[in-house]
Structure 1
Amino acid sequence: MVDEKKPIFAHMEELRGRVLVSIASVAIFGVLSYIYAEKILMLLARHAGHLVFISPQEAFLAYLKIALFGGLVLSAPVILFNALRFVWVAFKKSEQSAFVLYFLSGVGFFISGVIFAYFIVLPAAMKFLLGYASDFLSPCISVSRYVNFSFFLILAFAMAFETPLVVLFLTRLGVVNASLLRRKRKYFIVGMFIVAAVLTPPDVITQILLALPLIALYEISVLLAGFIKKVADPAGGTDDS
């Protein structure tokens, strides 16, 4: 619902201002990421060893990718905050506290996914993949491709860790419930391995490392859905969906 105390032009002006602030934050954090691109690359490369660039512009483009990715990720809280503030008036008082909780939980799950991917999945994936090196087969990893590989892997896990939040939101909307989630568990498990195969590099270890946390997060989601059911309907009643 639109805040009737403000004319539509005032809302458009506010939207314009918040979009400009968001763009500026991406630019500022992008510049900072470019300045520290070498240090960021060193943190990523610790799992890969020596990196090379095979074209004159490749190293420069890799730095630009780091700047773009860093700008988007670091400015995400600013962007989300401005989006939240813009739609804030559309929510009731009781909904505002829930919205803040969703926001903070989403940030927490996202950061958890990044940490899990960087400290556990990326080292394990690189150890497995580089294990194919031999006396006649030596790794020569392109910096640009490794940056793509690392960022895509980290982003995939960060997004995957939002699963409980998505399920929680769908549960509150009444789209799913704990009973339905339990009955469809086997389909979800198969689906998670398919998603893991699509999102991760083509090696079994990385796919398993993504699928297993997703399954664990799904089980957490089932528990959360059951908890919401009990809170919303203390009298009980079995889900029949």
Structure 2
Amino acid sequence: MSSPSHDKHDELAGTEQPFVAHLMELRDRLIRAAVSVLLVFGALCIYPTPSGLYDLLAAPLVSHLPAGQTLIATSVISPFVVPLKVTLLAAFLLALPVVLYQAWAFIAPGLYAHEKRLVMPLVLSSTLLFFAGVAFCYFFVFGQVFKFIQSWAPKSIAATPDVEAYLGFVMNMFIAFGAAFEVPVVVMVLVRMGLVTLQKLREFRAYFIVVAFVIAAVITPPDVVSQLALAIPMCLLYEVGIWAAGLFSRYSKAPDEEPEQGAAQ
């Protein structure tokens, strides 16, 4: 018969190595993700260069400024730091598939088969929807908003926005529209977790329209164009989420859930 101290020693010895192995794997995954971002960052520094990326980011605003006017830098280091921030952000977004794959490869071995069917489509769809929101904001919303603002600006005001202020504005808008385009994913997760039913979501439709316009009024600039550009897609994506939740919840069921539901019916 082994002593209690011997059993305790064996128990600790059995759990020490897997824990260290998980930490080492996590370190390797983080290093690979960081290296992928740095490689893309280096490539973007070569072409189109940080200044070229910022010019591309500022193009929707510059195209609506009066002739001969450009953005200004009120800080000494802004012309150097701000383009680097833009380049690093672009590198992270371009390397996001690799980063997400490293995260997925780390957690996947501990998931059941039905959980893997749930997580991977959510990761892919949320990433694509966020990119779609950013693209919609850049290619459509910015042009309409800046055109609207310039049409209301008095002729006695010289529009010379600061580069850092513009970057902050762009980041806030990108995050707002990227998050707003995640509405279908949020709806699917709520239905799959059993927190709400499809019938309740359909009944909540009218209230969500009000919520969408309130959110758009709070997080967008005080102009009608940007508020409508955010609220209307949210309402449409809510309907898409209801439709997709019905398909997705059935696709990601655990094997033991289907017989139980069949017996209940």
Q: Quickly name the TM-score band, shorter chain normalised.
A: 0.7 to 0.9
Report the CA distance between 1:185 and its aligned residue: 2.0
What is the aligned counterpart of 2:82 among 59, 62, 71? 62
Instruction: State the match for 2:176 in structure 1.
Output: 156
Q: Structure 2: which 5+ residue stretches go unaligned? A: 1-14, 63-69
Query: In the alignment, is the contact (CA less than 8 A) between 1:34 and 1:63 conserved in 2?
Result: no
Aligned residues: 233
Q: What letter is aligned with 1:172?
A: R
Report the CA distance between 1:33 and its aligned residue: 4.1
Distance 1:229 1:72, change over 3 A: closer
Q: What letter is aligned with 2:29?
A: R
In the alignment, does 2:158 pair up with 1:132? no
Query: In the alignment, is the contact (CA less than 8 A) between 1:59 and 1:144 conserved in 2?
Result: no
Query: In the alignment, is the contact (CA less than 8 A) between 2:73 and 2:162 conserved in 1?
Result: yes
Report the CA distance between 1:62 and its aligned residue: 1.4
What is the aligned counterpart of 1:113 among 123, 129, 133? 133
Instruction: State the match for 1:220 in structure 2.
Output: 240
Report the CA distance between 1:13 and its aligned residue: 0.7
Q: How does 1:190-229 map to 2 (within 5 A)?
A: 190-228=210-248
Report the CA distance between 1:44 and its aligned residue: 2.0
Instruction: State the match for 2:35 in structure 1.
Output: 24
Report the CA distance between 1:121 and its aligned residue: 0.9
Report the CA distance between 1:221 and its aligned residue: 1.2
C-alpha distance after superposition, 1:17-42 (max 9, x if no partner): 11122223333334444552222222
Q: Structure 1: which 5+ residue stretches go unaligned? A: none
Q: What letter is aligned with 2:81?
A: L
| Larger Cα-atom Rg | 2
Cα RMSD, aligned residues only: 2.6
- What TM-score do you get using the length of structure 1 for normalisation? 0.85
Query: In the alignment, is the contact (CA less than 8 A) between 1:106 and 1:165 conserved in 2?
Result: yes
In 2, distance between residues paired with 1:77 and 1:229?
25
Q: How does 1:31-50 map to 2 (within 5 A)?
A: 31-35=42-46, 36-49=49-62, 50=70
Instruction: State the match for 2:24 in structure 1.
Output: 13
Query: In the alignment, is the contact (CA less than 8 A) between 2:61 and 2:142 conserved in 1?
Result: no
Instruction: State the match for 1:83 in structure 2.
Output: 103
Aligned sequence identity (%): 34
Query: In the alignment, is the contact (CA less than 8 A) between 1:177 and 1:225 conserved in 2?
Result: no
- What TM-score do you get using the length of structure 2 for normalisation? 0.78
C-alpha distance after superposition, 1:148-175 (max 9, x if no partner): 2122212221222111012112211111
